[in-house]
Amino acid sequence: MADPAYTHAPKPAGATGVLVLADGSVAWGRGFGAVGTAVGEVCFNTAMTGYQEVLTDPSYAGQVVTFTFPHIGNVGTNPEDMESHDVPGSVMGAIGLVVREDVTDPANFRSVEPLQAWLAARGKIGLSGIDTRALTRRIRLGGAPNAVIAHDPDGDFDIPALLAEAQAWPGLEGMDLARVVSREEQDEWEGGIWHLGKGYARSPHDPRPHVVAIDYGAKDNIFRNLVRAGAQVTVVPAETSLETVLTLNPAGVFLSNGPGDPAATGAYAVPVIQGLLERDIPVFGICLGHQMLGLAAGARTIKMHQGHRGANHPVKRHADGVVEITSMNHGFAVDNASLPEGVEETHVSLFDGSNCGISIVGKKAFGVQYHPEASPGPQDSFYLFEKFVGMLG
């Protein structure tokens, strides 16, 4: 559904950025960060804090994030708030962002670099001056659209060419992005959670249960919370074979979050997980990892209309009716109508009733759709890390 505020909107004076949706709608604004163009899916995030963590979450690969909070970038950026192995020149995480207000100079004692310069160094395009309320309503009504985001300091844009690029992009369905954002080498994880004035905690050297974490596009804070809960963590690439995982002698296996279509990633991930379940190895999955576990157990996944992205999503725990306020970032979900016998739904979204957790009967295996490590977000669900590590003996 086209919005009159965007369709065929004439270029205003001073416009140096533009968002061109695949249906032909055009939103003009002021570009910042990297210069150039990028194509992907436009989504929205309702979090009021943590924009750097959001932008470096590998689960946002192939997406332009619209922030509903109007003031983004005002506290700058710093190396401690990275949530991925992002390096200058990479496109790890979101490809761009859309905001309402212009980014002001940083006003925070932790800031090391302004958001504009940080984005430019990483090839990410920013666009300000956009009516983000209208864009968010558009996504809610019509679903997450494909689009091109572009920034040119001279304001020179070939709209028909940008539209053609947006329309030619195939979309996230059927796209395996986990192999694109995953670590390429095995890594022994070091470091615990962050404390103000102290930085990240050092990894303890006492004997701990060994967790092999499969990286489909993980946020680093997940690994920090596994350490906090009492585990020793080895991180392996997304396409690691079952045989390689078993040679590491894990007490349990963690399945991380990540981007793209779970059905596409499942082509190589599901057989590995099924092999782990057959051997009764404890398994815990988050977000894409939760979806991988669901597929391995015989359920289906579906593309959501608009997805869930933010730090204030209420989730009901079936066991006792407790409501957890959670952090989420996903555009696909396990179809709760497809859960086979032997797979129990443990959590459900109070926004739309979609599945947010499963447990496999007779196995030490469970997953949740949301992010219990938060960063940013509430800490209601840390208990899940303790539950998993408690299964490891």
Helices (H), the chain: 51-55, 115-121, 132-142, 159-168, 178-181, 220-228, 242-247, 262-278, 288-296, 383-390
β-strands 26-33, 17-21 pairing: antiparallel
Active site residue 210: no
Among residues 41, 85, 165, 287, the one annotated as catalytic is: 287
Among residues 83, 165, 324, 373, the one annotated as catalytic is: 373
Instruction: For residue 264, give the nearest of 325, 180, 346 by alpha carbon.
Output: 180
Query: By the 8 A CB rule, do 307 and 330 touch?
Result: yes
* CA angle, 119 then 121 then 122, to 5°: 65
Q: Is 187 exposed, middle or buried (0-12, 13-18, 19+ CB in 10 A)?
A: middle
Q: How far apart are CA 254 and CA 384, in angstroms?
A: 12
Residue with tokens 């390429």: 184
Active site residue 373: yes
Query: By the 8 A CB rule, do 203 and 225 touch?
Result: no
Query: By the 8 A CB rule, do 48 and 69 touch?
Result: yes
Q: How far apart are CA 236 and CA 182, in angstroms?
A: 9
Residue 142: other Cβ atoms inside 10 A: 16
Report residue 349 as tokens.
Answer: 């979204």
Helices (H), 79-149: 115-121, 132-142
Residue with tokens 């192995």: 85
DSSP assignment, residue 25? B
Active site residue 371: yes
Sign of CA pseudo-dihedral 81, 83, 88, 90? negative
Q: Which residues contact 161 (CB under 8 A, 6 or more apart)?
A: none
110 SS3 class: coil
Active centre residues (catalytic): 287, 371, 373
